[in-house]
Each structure stands twice: as C-alpha cells, then as structure tokens.
Amino acid sequence: MIRSELQGLRALAVIFVIINHAFPNYLPGGFIGVDIFFVLSGYLITLMLLETSNKKFTTYLKDFYSRRIRRILPSALLVILVSTIASSLLLGPVVASDTARDGIWASLFLANIHFNNLSIDYFQSELPLPILQHYWSLAIEEQFYLIWPILLYVFLRKGLPIIVGIGLVTFASLIYSIIELINSAPTAYFGTLTRFWELGIGAILALRKIPQNRFISTTSLGLLILLAFIYSSQTQFPGVAALAVTTLTASFIATSTSNSTIAAQPFVYVGNISYLLYLWHWPILQISRLYTEVTGLITALLVTATFLMSILTHHLFEKPIRYSQLLTKSNKRTLFFGLFGTSITLLTMVSLR
C-alpha cells in the first residue's frame, strides 16, 4: 500500500499537468508534474524491487514485469486504441494516419525516441502537437524499468556499492541533460539518458533512511507549487531547472510520513486515478481542439469529462484486470495477455495507417 501523502503528491502532479495543458496561462509551469512523477516512480519501483530481491533472478524479473504489465499496459493500450479510432472518425485520414503511426511507437513504449526523431519541440512548436505525444514520459519510465531491476539485482548480489553506482550514473545523466539543453537538442526533453537522472534521484532516496521533518516537507511542497507558477515555456528545461523540481520532490518524499497536508482522502483518490487522468486528458483536449474551436467553458467541460472517463476506466477496466485472479496467479498468463494486447493494438494501428 502506497503511503497516503505520496498518493496526494501524485494527485498534485497530475493536476499540475492537466491545468497546464488545459489552461496554460493559469499555471505555465505545470509541466513539472511529469518530473515529480519521475522521482516518485524511481523511488517506489526501487522499494518494490528491494522487497523481492531475495528471490531467484528469473522469478524476481517475472514477478516485477508481470506487475508492471497488469498495472501499466491495459489502460495504455486502451487509450491508444480509442484515441486513434476517434481521430479517424472525427479528424480525417491524414490525422488518423499520423496518430496510428504514433500509436505504434507508443504501444512499444518508444514514443520518446519517435518524437525526438521528429524533432518536435514540446514548448515552441507552431504545428498541432500529436494526440499521443504524452506517451513520451511513459516510454522513459518503461525503459528505466527494463534496465534498473537488472542493475539493482546485480549490485545486491555482488555486494557492490549501490549508492555509488546509481549516484555516478545519475550524475552523468544530469550532466548530459545540461549539455543537450545548451545545444538546444530535442533529446534534452525526450531522451531517456537525459531523464534517467530524475528517476535515479528517486532510486537513491529509496536506499537511504532520512529523519522525518514536517517543516521541510511542507516547505518543499509549497516551493513545488510556487515553481509551477514561476516556470513557463521560456524556462530552460529540464537541466538545472528540473534539478530544483526533483530535489524538492525528493525532499518531500523523504520527510513526509508525518505530514498530512495532502494525505486527505480526495487527494488520495485523485492519486489513485492519476495514471488514467494523465492518459486521457491530452487526447480529449487535443482531439477537441483539432475538431472545433474550444472556449474556456468547453475546456472546463473537457477536463470534467477527463475525470469521468478516468473514474469509469479505473473501476470498470483497470482494477478488474490488475487484480484479476486469473492473471495474478500466473506470470505466464500475464505475459501472454500483455503480448496479445500489444499485438492487437499494433495490428489495429497498422490497419489505420
């Protein structure tokens, strides 16, 4: 069970992102919600891996990837399918074809590489942004999940200094991120190696015990909210600006056990559906904007629709699959289910190209 205040932090992160995408003038730096998610993911995944690291290597990996498949894959594929079909019905063959192409990369969790190759500028592009562009961050997380479990297991089994190892990799990734940002390369934003350090900070945090401090956790939370208002599309990001966000996020996570500031039940519930809110919000907003002129009132209704879709998907689709006894009792069935679902999605995307 994830701590309530961390679910609350997830809620805050996804609210940042949604407001930034729906009403950018009100929260110009809301994109930092993704960076908060990165640190949280590195932290929580490392805790999970440490709890199961005493198992045989094959069992350890099968258990981990089976849980990831049940948690991540069904909803991700569902939104890709619905978004592409909606694009085909509402926006015509050209947009549908482009979305299907993007859906192929998104289904394979390689969207960040794809959008990087297209040289898409997250902040400055004058062209309509892709309907599945937000899958870039999911791709980075999944690529991290491919590497980190193996490295962590090797470190633990060989008695290597984990903190030193991940610390060096994290620092090298940060430096690379800064260099790419200076060079104005799209890789700075979409690259796995330029973002690895953010998840690495979370991983390091999971390996250390830090005394609780309510003042530090509350201050960190307040400063994160402040940065969401101060940062904008003109901010050089990620680089040093992201370092401030990730440091404050780590500070909050490390010292927040006794802090109930965002541990209230409404925040926890939004945190529970934060993944679905992230998946649904961008296609709903972007398809609507490409289909017709969208006013502030309509945008507010679209955000409401995002919450309704996320709630319905959570209770009627996500949870039944994630906790299905048929899948939880068999890693082989889960792996087959993941392969089958991905194959169906890819075939659909190819047919719509």
Asked if 138 contacts 190 with a C-beta cutoff of 8 angstroms, the reply is no
pLDDT digits (tens, 9 = 90+) for 202-244: 999 998 877 777 888 899 999 999 999 999 988 888 889 999 9
CA distance 242 to 182: 14
pLDDT digits (tens, 9 = 90+) for 86-115: 999 999 999 999 999 999 999 999 999 999
pLDDT digits (tens, 9 = 90+) for 263-319: 889 999 999 999 999 999 999 999 999 999 899 999 999 999 999 999 999 999 999
In the prediction, which pLDDT does 174 show?
A: 94
Please give the residue that has the higher pLDDT: either 156 or 273.
273
In the prediction, which pLDDT does 120 show?
A: 65
Asked if 99 contacts 132 with a C-beta cutoff of 8 angstroms, the reply is yes
Query: Where do we find the tokens 């030193």?
Result: 164
Mind giving me the DSSP string for 125-156? Answer: --SPPPTTTTHHHHHHHHHHHHHHHHHHHHHH
Q: Is the pLDDT score of 188 beyond 60?
A: yes
Asked if 136 contacts 112 with a C-beta cutoff of 8 angstroms, the reply is yes
In the prediction, which pLDDT does 30 show?
A: 96
Give the CA angle between residues 46, 51, 54 to the nearest 5°.
Answer: 115
Phi-psi region of 208 (alpha: psi -120 to 50; beta: other; left: phi over 0): beta
In the prediction, which pLDDT does 182 show?
A: 87
Reference 191, options 128, 149, 139; nearest CA is 139
Contacts of 22 (CB under 8 A, 6+ apart): 281, 285, 299, 300, 302, 303
What backbone torsions phi and psi does residue 282 show, to the nearest 5 degrees? -70, -45
Compute the average pLDDT of residues 180-193.
83
Asked if 41 contacts 144 with a C-beta cutoff of 8 angstroms, the reply is yes
